[in-house]
Amino acid sequence: MTSGKAARLSASLAALADDKRRAVIRALLEQPRRAGDLAKAVALSPPALSRHLRILRRAGLVVEQGDDDDARARIYSVRAPGFTPLREWLDDVESYWTEQLEAFKAHAEGKRR
């Protein structure tokens, strides 16, 4: 894993380590939302939500866009490519355990014969 990918993975894991930030992600997976609506959906004060959104944006997991109808409003949504380093790492871990379990199965079945 390159140092850039490792840094992005670390940022993603650190951002997702907090249960409130995971709740923000879950709410945004349902639909993109304005900050006020998002704060209500996850039961956070606006200042607290702002801090969590800043961490999620820096980790590349959430994106902020302007609202065409109201230039002051910001709409937040999940940034799917931000999850790529995490998905790749999980795939590597799953592959490792799949190989280990297959080897154990072959060993266990070989001993029974």
Q: Could you report the per-residue pLDDT of 41-63, keeping only the tens digit for each?
A: 999 999 999 999 999 999 999 99
Closest among 47, 55, 45 to 21, alpha carbons compared: 55
What confidence category does residue 112 fall into, taking pLDDT thresholds of 50, 70 and 90? low
Residue 69 pLDDT > 80: no
> What CATH number belongs to 3-112?
1.10.10.10
**Which pTM value belongs to this model?**
0.78
- Percentage of the chain with pLDDT > 70? 96
Nearest to residue 76, comparing CAs of 56, 95, 90?
56
Q: How far apart are CA 45 and CA 50, in angstroms?
A: 9
Q: What mean pLDDT comes out for the span 24-28?
A: 98
Q: For the chain, which residues make up each domain, given as ranges?
A: 3-112
Cα–Cα distance measured from residue 88 to residue 108, given in angstroms and rounded to the nearest whole number: 30
Strand 62-66, strand 74-78: pairing: antiparallel
Average pLDDT, the chain: 89
- Cα 3 from Cα 10, distance rounded (Å): 10
